[in-house]
């Protein structure tokens, strides 16, 4: 059974192990370490004592952004990201967020489907936002900006 709880900087190495296993261009340890406390919040998924997934969110007034969401490859496809995302949305609702935002690589169809199923919609495109190793691209990849209005906010 998967349990969920927030983590602090003590878990940064475990988060980085998942980050490195999941992303073509992972965050650095410095970036990950900067995402604890203050305007940041997170939730981690545990299989027993083992950290198998997480999200990191950022609060800016009424706007909450999903900065990162990852599930370790061995645990993907079991609904863990769906639960993490629904808990991110619940957290926003409980904290009176008006809008939820996220950015995703245009090629990340798996994540885009996850977000669409949860109710996020495409809002705009940030051209050449991410670095890319795809030989058919110019070294960069577009980001899709997605959002969800929780109340009568800006959207």
Ligand X SMILES: CC(C)(COP(=O)(O)OP(=O)(O)OC[C@H]1O[C@@H](n2cnc3c(N)ncnc32)[C@H](O)[C@@H]1OP(=O)(O)O)[C@@H](O)C(=O)NCCC(=O)NCCS
What is the spatial order of strands in the sheet that 121-131 belongs to?
Answer: 2-5, 40-47, 50-60, 63-71, 99-105, 140-149, 121-131
Least Å distance between CB 152 and ligand X?
A: 27
Task: Select from 27-35, 74-82, 87-95, 128-136 the region that touches ligand X (CB under 6 A).
Answer: 74-82
Cα 18 from Cα 134, distance rounded (Å):
22
Piece of 8-16, 72-80, 89-97, 125-133 that binds ligand X (CB under 6 A): 72-80
Q: Which of 32, 35, 43, 70 binds ligand X (CB under 6 A)?
A: 70
CB 144 within 8 A of CB 125: yes
Q: Is the dihedral of CA 33, 145, 52, 21 positive or negative?
A: negative
For the question of residue 130 being annotated catalytic, the response is no
Site mask, ligand X, residues 103-142, x = CB under 6 A?
-x---x-xx-xx--x-------------------------
Alpha-carbon 75 to chain mean position: 16
Residue 138 annotated as part of some ligand binding site: no
17-46 residues in contact with ligand X (CB under 6 A) are 22-23
Number of residues that this document lists for the chain:
155
Instruction: Give exposure, 37-49, as e/b (b: 16+ Cβ within 10 Å).
Output: eeeebbbbbbbee
Q: Which is nearer to ligand X, 131 or 151 (CB)?
A: 131
- Token match 């995402």: residue? 35
Nearer to ligand X, 44 or 152 (CB): 44
Q: Catalytic residue, from 58, 103, 106, 122: name it.
A: 103
55 assigned to active site: no
Interface residues with ligand X (CB under 6 A) are 22-23, 69-71, 76-82, 104, 108, 110-111, 113-114, 117
């Amino acid at each position: 059974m998967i349990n969920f709880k927030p983590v602090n900087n003590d878990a940064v190495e475990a988060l980085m192990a998942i980050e490195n296993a999941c992303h073509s261009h992972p965050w650095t340890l410095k970036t990950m370490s900067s995402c604890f406390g203050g305007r940041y919040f997170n939730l981690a998924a545990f299989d027993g004592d083992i950290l198998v997934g997480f999200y990191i969110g950022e609060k800016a007034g009424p706007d909450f952004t999903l900065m990162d969401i990852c599930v370790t490859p061995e645990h993907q496809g079991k609904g863990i990201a769906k639960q993490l995302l629904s808990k991110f949305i619940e957290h926003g609702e409980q904290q009176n967020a008006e809008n939820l935002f996220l950015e995703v690589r245009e090629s990340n169809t798996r994540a885009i489907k996850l977000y669409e199923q949860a109710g996020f919609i495409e809002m705009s495109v940030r051209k050449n936002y991410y670095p890319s190793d795809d030989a058919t691209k110019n070294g960069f990849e577009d980001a899709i900006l997605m959002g969800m209005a929780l109340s009568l906010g800006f959207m």
